[in-house]
Structure 1
Amino acid sequence: MNKPAPQKMLSIGTLARETGASVRSIRHYDGHGLLASSRASNGYRVFPATAIEQVKQIQRLIATGFSLAEIQSFPDCMRMIEGAMSCPDTTEIQRKRLASIERQIADLERRRTRLRLMLTEGTTPPLD
């Protein structure tokens, strides 16, 4: 019977270098259950090589505006593969995030308009 080849394990420092994430961020992701780590015989945290893609995908999702709690709720098809396409299970939360971002943009545009009026007219415009 053939034994499977042992999986290459990465130190947290190596994972940080490979992904551009800080060691602190990786610990944070791991603490939220977004990564699978184990302990080496010396007690240090180690990660499978697949964690490189997972960290990059987590970074992409954070950059899109998702919280770690939201990312944690995503199915593996979204969390585990760098650049993964949308899963049908996540469409609704993505739509909600987009609506939230659009509300924030509209609010910022209203603020910008008010500030421009203050600068051009020298007075504080009334509230909408």
Structure 2
Amino acid sequence: MRIGEVAAQAGVSVRALRYYEEQHLLDATRSSGGQRQYPDTAVERVKLIQQLYAAGLPSRTIREVLPCVASGEVTPALLKRLAAERARIDQQVRELLSVRDRLDDVIATAEKPGPGCTHVDA
């Protein structure tokens, strides 16, 4: 697949794909004309990279995790780091749920006419 095809199918920019290559997260071969060629698995790999970045994992950790996804093998040191990352993500989820609950309270209060809040029609 060419770089534009991968970018379009994965929903990322061409620049992001080049960055992933620089970070050694994604590999491409070059055609005789110098164009990047990606394997068919590149789209799913890019989506996983995006998810891991969105979860707050740094490039270094993602670079170590990606081979483990395919092989299922993890070193004890990486396993320990991944457990710490998972705990951090769990904490973020709890905090986000708390914020969502508070927003639900504000929305519910705003939908009830009465003192202390101004009802605004959407």
Instruction: Identify whether the pair has TM-score above 0.5, normalized to the shorter chain.
Output: yes
User: How do residues 102-121 of structure 1 correspond to structure 2 at under 5 angstroms?
Assistant: none
1:48 alignment counterpart: 39
Structure 2 alignment gaps of length 5 or more: 100-122
The structure with the greater share of residues assigned to helix is 2
- TM-score normalised according to structure 2 size: 0.61
1:24 Cα deviation after fit: 0.5
**One-letter amino acid matched to 1:29:** Y
- CA, structure 1 residues 97+70, in 2 after alignment: closer, same or farther (shift >3 Å)? farther
**Is the CA contact (8 Å cut-off) linking 2:23 and 2:59 kept in structure 1?**
yes
| Aligned sequence identity (%) | 35
Matched, 1:77 2:48: no
1:34 alignment counterpart: 25
Matched, 1:16 2:7: yes
1:65 Cα deviation after fit: 1.3
Structure 1 alignment gaps of length 5 or more: 1-9, 110-128
- Report the RMSD for the aligned CA atoms in angstroms: 3.0
- TM-score normalised according to structure 1 size: 0.58
